[in-house]
Chains A and B, each alone.
Chain A
Amino acid sequence: MAINVLEEQVLPKMSTPKKFKVSLWRRLMTVFATVMVIGSFVFLAAMFLSIIVDVLIHAWPALNIKLLTDITNGIGGGLKNAIEGSIIISLGSLLLAAPIGISAGIYLSEHGHGNAGKLLRFLSDVLVGVPSIVLGYVGYITMVIYLGWQFSVAAGIITLTVMLLPYIARSTELALSNIPLSVREAGYGLGAGEGRIVFKILLPGAAPAIMTGLFYAVALSMGETAPLLYTAGWSNYMWTGNLTKEPIGYLTYVIWTFINEPFAESHMLAFAAAFLITAGVLMLILLGRWYMVRAQRRMGAYR
């Protein structure tokens, strides 16, 4: 009997549990937030695609073999000298920046735990934030005017080197600090010196990550314009090999000056240059990522 009473009292409530109601306001806000979140990603993807498609459509008529075989004249022609110049400047600044940047990165990761290392890290982060036009202007007043190099390859390369240094240093530091401490201890335990450990153990292990950083640095230097405007100058001719007193052409300059010319041919050339630069930069970034992923799969490299 007692059970029946219990059932009568309890069961009706249990059979129709009170439904938890989400207020209309909360539901509205959730829908609104979902739309905003998806919308903001769609916005970004649309911007990316519109940049690529816009450049590609305008550049399409100009993409022919003439780009690679002719040099620019005042309003048109090809881009041979500019392509050559872009490659020379990027590789030159990489050659200068990579050794310095990598060893600064080694210092930061191996000895950078004290106050000096913290200060150095802080200053290199600040150096990343220096506007590139300021670097270009300082390059202009020091190398172009004061040292009398005039618009030249060397001035452009050195200016870009200062810009790349902090990027390479930080990516190297990150790559090395991901290698576990026990690897270093094993090396010291076998009696290896510091130099040997860095060159034979740490650098090979971190090579893929460092390479990815270098790919990124080259991409960055290829796309820069502002630091080169008043250091490398511009030339319609091929480079003859002088480091100073000879200006050099580069692709990004073509983009911003030729688009201001009133001729359709110049505009097409500007878009062709933009296409080449964008394609080059994106390829380098993707190549760097692919290299990293492959190295991790193959030999389980440190990230």
Chain B
Amino acid sequence: MKIPVFRTALVTTASFLPISLLLLIIFLVVYSWPAIQYNQFHFLWTNDWNLGNLYGNPVTVNGHQIMPGAKYGIWFLVVGTVASSVLAMLIAMPIAIGAAYFLSEGIRKTWAGPLSLFVDLLAAIPSVVYGLWGYALLVPLFGHTIFPFMATTFSFIPFLNGEAGSGYGLLTSAFVLAVMIIPLISATLRESILMTEPALKEAGLSLGLNRLEVFWHIVLPKLRTVLIGVGILALGRALGETMAVLMVSGNALNYLPNNIYAPISTMAAFIASQLDSALQDPTNMAVEALSEIALVLLLITVVVNIAARMMLWMAKVR
């Protein structure tokens, strides 16, 4: 029998993709196993990250060597990650829908091409440049002008009142994240709008609706699944974003935000900023606990992405 060399080679190289995903999960589980055993599940909902006394002698607790007083709890990271991503989604969704409508139906086709370049190039800007922009432009602007104004104007709404803070914090992170994910949502949505059957739109128009009403009452409900799918996809991107959040979030430690101006930290940003200090721990438990955070983050984003892809598959969007 002739061995299909070419096809075997293709299958081998193609299997790199799933294998690398599996290896990611396996390596993280293996490496953080001591931390998982030591921390168990209250890791997720205790609010206490403390590397302990790094100059003391390691003590043995439940069969694991740790530094005296070391505690690992990441509830503040869970809250910060979820709050900033959800807030970013709330800001991003309406703007993305509006921009998608504007570029697909609102203007002439000849103008849509060049103008959509703004949105596409926005998606290509590196996240660290977003962070720099947030750090240099948004943080001073928000901290000095906009947040104090908002805090006094909306003083009757919970979470919008209270201390206006320094500009580093939840709302700034959510704003930067929103600008980063809008192009993602908008691009997919725009393609789906263009692919909607013209007959549907014409039926609506012939009933006397204007084009915006056709979009709102006919096209958008039809694209509900796409909208939810691409929204979850963007949520996954926001959950895992590191550099931009790291530079504008204020890097709070063991602190739960009491309003939307308060400093936060997210899992991804925390991993990036804490490895240096975790390496000071001679028992290595701190590095393993960080790897447990990475594992939690990976599992969350994998679940979120699977959910999003399922939705998009049902809607037959590529």
On A, residues with C-beta under 8 Å from B are 20, 26, 30, 33-34, 36-41, 43-45, 47-48, 50-51, 54-55, 58, 99-100, 103-104, 106-108, 110-111, 119-120, 122-138, 140-142, 162, 165-166, 169, 174, 193-195, 198, 216, 219, 222-226, 229-230, 252, 255-256, 259, 270-271, 274, 277-278, 281-282, 285-286
Contacts and interface: CB of A to CB of B under 8 A. Distances in A.
Given A44-B95, A223-B124, 12 more contacts: A43-B99, A44-B118, A123-B18, A129-B308, A131-B240, A132-B242, A134-B28, A134-B298, A141-B31, A162-B24, A165-B17, A224-B126
A192 to B, nearest CB: 12
A277 B240 contact: no
A222 to B, nearest CB: 7
Nearest to A112: B14
A271 B302 CA distance: 34
Contacts of A142: 27
Contacts of B179: 44, 47
Interface string B1-15: 000101101110111
B243 A225 contact: yes
Contacts of B18: 119-120, 123-124, 127
A51 B130 contact: yes
Contact of A104 (B14, B21, B297): B14
Interface residues of B, number: 84
B132 A137 contact: no
Given A132-B242, A255-B128, A44 B10 contact: no
B294 interface: yes
Contact of B98 (A39, A99, A198, A216): A39
Contact of B10 (A107, A223, A277): A107
B241 A259 contact: no
B54 interface: no
A216 B119 CA distance: 15
Select the residue from B20, B126, B133, B272 with max chain A CB neighbours within 10 A: B126
B128 A223 contact: yes
Given A126-B305, A252-B126, A285-B121, A120 B243 contact: no
A67 B268 CA distance: 32
A110 B7 CA distance: 10
B271 interface: yes
Contact of A37 (B102, B130, B133, B239): B102
Interface stretch (B196-204, B209-217, B255-263): B209-217
A106 to B, nearest CB: 6
Contacts of B71: none
Interface in B87-105: 94-99, 101-103
B102 A38 contact: yes
Contacts, number: 248
Contacts of B243: 225-226, 252, 256
Contact of A285 (B28, B124, B127, B183): B124
B74 to A, nearest CB: 15
B128 A58 contact: no
A172 to B, nearest CB: 11
Q: Kindly name the residue among A41, A120, A271 whose own CB sees the greatest number of chain B CB atoms within 10 A.
A: A41
Interface in B216-235: 216, 233
20 contacts: A37-B98, A37-B212, A40-B98, A40-B99, A41-B115, A44-B122, A126-B306, A129-B233, A131-B239, A134-B28, A138-B294, A162-B20, A216-B124, A222-B126, A230-B275, A259-B135, A274-B129, A277-B128, A278-B125, A278-B129
A142 B240 CA distance: 21
Nearest to B290: A137
**Those 6 A-B pairs whose CB atoms lie nearest each other, nearest first:** A131-B240, A223-B126, A40-B98, A129-B305, A107-B14, A226-B242
